[in-house]
Structure 1
Amino acid sequence: MLEAIGVSDMKDVAAEVACHRFSNGEWVSTPVYVPSEMEFTIYVNQKALVTILCTAAKLNYLVIGYLYAEGIISGIGDVASMRVSEEEALADVRLKNPGYKLPALRKLGCSGSSVFKTRGKRVDSELVATPEEVLSLMKRFLEQMELYRLSGGVHTSALSDTGKLLILAEDIGRHNTLNKLQGECLLRGIATRDRLLLITGRISSEMLLKAEKMQTPIVVSRHAPTRNAILLAGDMGIALVGQARCDHLAVFTHPERLGCST
């Protein structure tokens, strides 16, 4: 079941500010909402690991997803305990291995992962979808973007099967949205393998590597992918779909996953 952001939660992720709009030759003063941001630090075994600029929603999922994406944990079973405090802007994570050697403290903006890789494992999947199913999912995806509709200025990602959306995450950082999806799936026991990944932003090679970690064989965006992302997707067996809007889309790799035999 998709969990949407409730109205009462919006105060934590969006702020009302004054704005002066110019339209049709006139100025109008009006209140608007803008996305809020916070510096959030993850401590592992009492050592500061990373400070992330993020949106204050689903922070527990962000923590677990980040640790998993960076290879610090292989699953939720590696975590002995976790305390997340929005007020203190921190997460205190204790691993079952107290002697785990952590890398130096990093500070990340909205750009995402601190680990740079150029290759990923191949995604082994039989999943296929029709263009009509993908476009229908994108339509529902865009309808569920509550924070974006309120304030703009955020990215959104969702995990789905071929018929419905499963979970959704919004954040000022593209990579944060995927980490939140991954973390929620780990904590709730939701399988990511053989699913579709829907995102609003540009598809970069880093985003593709996160998709590979989730073993999602179809990645769909409203925007275009980078050249490196296309090369990676081809090698990893991922169907890379871009420019999915209204009644059209473009498939850059493995079109057979969308029923195209060319």
Structure 2
Amino acid sequence: MADKTCEGTVTQTYTVITRRGARPVKAEIIHERLVSIFVNGRELATVMCTPCDQDALALGFLANEGIIGSLDDVRAVHICPSGACVDVWLSFADFEPPRRVILTSGCGGGVTFDDLSGEFEPLVSERRVTPGQLWALMARLHQSAELYSRARGVHTSGLSDGEGLLLTAEDVGRHNTLDKLRGKALQAGLDTHDGIILTTGRVSSEMINKARRMGVPIVCSRTSPTSLSVGLAREWNITLIGYLRRNSMNVYAHPERVLQPQTVGKAANGRKREGTPDAG
């Protein structure tokens, strides 16, 4: 069911010009605005986003930055009437905002406090999937993209257990979709560890870092990764898949988690060995 408080689109009148002439059109376009996240009364970050699920966005951002570990660390969450700010009150009063802020490559400009040059423990996971599972999950992700179907212009991400989509999120910022997923998971009491992330957006370093924070060992995108995200995925034991389309995919890191389909004519059986005479 669609969130009735979500202001995901606005109706605008614009001009369509074709070879046949020009005509006015009234239709939906994606809503984008600044939303500020306050923690214990102090501004922590301001992000460009689609104003839907702002509470999940704020909670997920705090979790993916390592500021909170669970909802036990949160005393209250309040979205201001205008929707332009979210107040999060923690159960501990001695919170100090990180001093170092890193601007990310995300759409609209994201922020992170994590220093990716530090050393982090690789993820440990026995998760395995088949190509068919991933192709089917990406197809379901596209089918679930409600805002995209209405106005285009947004990214969609989903959290899966390998069988179906547990949660989805849409936003103009691809990094925001992962924060919204993490926040929704906290609100629903879902553990993100050992899950699978599927996204329509490019996988850059901040995206793979959010996956690490979520304990997700498999990240799939319909488009490309960056060189840094590939390097981090290899270092952190995360399977990174790009260009996941209808019948193909590129696996850039840890392909052992993707079970290869049985093929006819394996090297040990179907290929003619060197020096073996032709039959007959």
Task: Give your verdict on TM over 0.5.
Answer: yes
- Cα shift at 1:9: 5.2
Q: Deviations over 1:112-166 (max 9, x none)?
A: 2322432543111100110011001000110110101111111111101111011
Structure with the bigger percentage of helix? 1
- Cα shift at 1:38: 2.2
Instruction: Report the residue type matching 1:234 in the other structure.
Output: R
CA distance in 2, matches of 1:112, 1:195: 24
Instruction: Report the residue type matching 2:158 in the other structure.
Output: A
What secondary structure, in the 3-state scheme, does the structure 1 residue paired with 2:14 have?
A: strand
Find the counterpart in structure 2 of residue 47 from structure 1: 42
Contact kept, 8 Å, 1:52 with 1:107, in 2: the verdict is no
1:1-262 to 2 correspondences below 5 Å: 4-5=1-2, 8=4, 12-87=7-82, 89-103=84-98, 110-118=108-116, 120-260=120-260
Instruction: Report the residue type matching 1:84 in the other structure.
Output: I
Contact kept, 8 Å, 1:129 with 1:259, in 2: the verdict is yes
CA distance in 1, matches of 2:101, 2:191: 30
Instruction: Report the residue type matching 1:56 in the other structure.
Output: P
- Cα shift at 1:260: 4.0
- Cα shift at 1:86: 4.4
- Cα shift at 1:28: 2.8
- Cα shift at 1:191: 1.1
- Cα shift at 1:91: 1.8
Instruction: Report the residue type matching 1:23 in the other structure.
Output: T
Task: Tell which deviates more after alignment, 86-95 or 98-107.
Answer: 98-107
Contact kept, 8 Å, 2:98 with 2:113, in 1: the verdict is no
Contact kept, 8 Å, 1:111 with 1:174, in 2: the verdict is no
- Cα shift at 1:107: 11
CA distance in 1, matches of 2:100, 2:38: 10
CA distance in 1, matches of 2:71, 2:93: 15
CA distance in 2, matches of 1:105, 1:52: 16
Instruction: Report the residue type matching 2:255 in the other structure.
Output: P
The Cα RMSD (Å) is 2.1
- Cα shift at 1:83: 1.5
Task: Tell which deviates more after alignment, 93-102 or 176-185.
Answer: 93-102
- Cα shift at 1:104: 5.8
Task: Tell which deviates more after alignment, 58-67 or 77-86.
Answer: 77-86
What is the TM-score when the length of structure 2 is the normalising length?
0.85
Distance change in 2, residues 1:210/1:39 (3 Å) = same
Contact kept, 8 Å, 2:48 with 2:109, in 1: the verdict is no
Task: Tell which deviates more after alignment, 212-221 or 14-23.
Answer: 14-23
CA distance in 1, matches of 2:163, 2:135: 11
CA distance in 2, matches of 1:104, 1:235: 27
Aligned length: 256
Distance change in 2, residues 1:253/1:83 (3 Å) = same
Contact kept, 8 Å, 1:78 with 1:97, in 2: the verdict is yes
Task: Tell which deviates more after alignment, 107-116 or 232-241.
Answer: 107-116
What secondary structure, in the 3-state scheme, does the structure 1 residue paired with 2:35 have?
A: strand
- Cα shift at 1:62: 0.7
Task: Tell which deviates more after alignment, 73-82 or 220-229.
Answer: 73-82
- Cα shift at 1:250: 1.1
Instruction: Report the residue type matching 1:221 in the other structure.
Output: S
Structure 1: gaps (5+ residues): none
Instruction: Report the residue type matching 2:138 in the other structure.
Output: M
Instruction: Report the residue type matching 1:78 in the other structure.
Output: D
- Cα shift at 1:25: 3.9
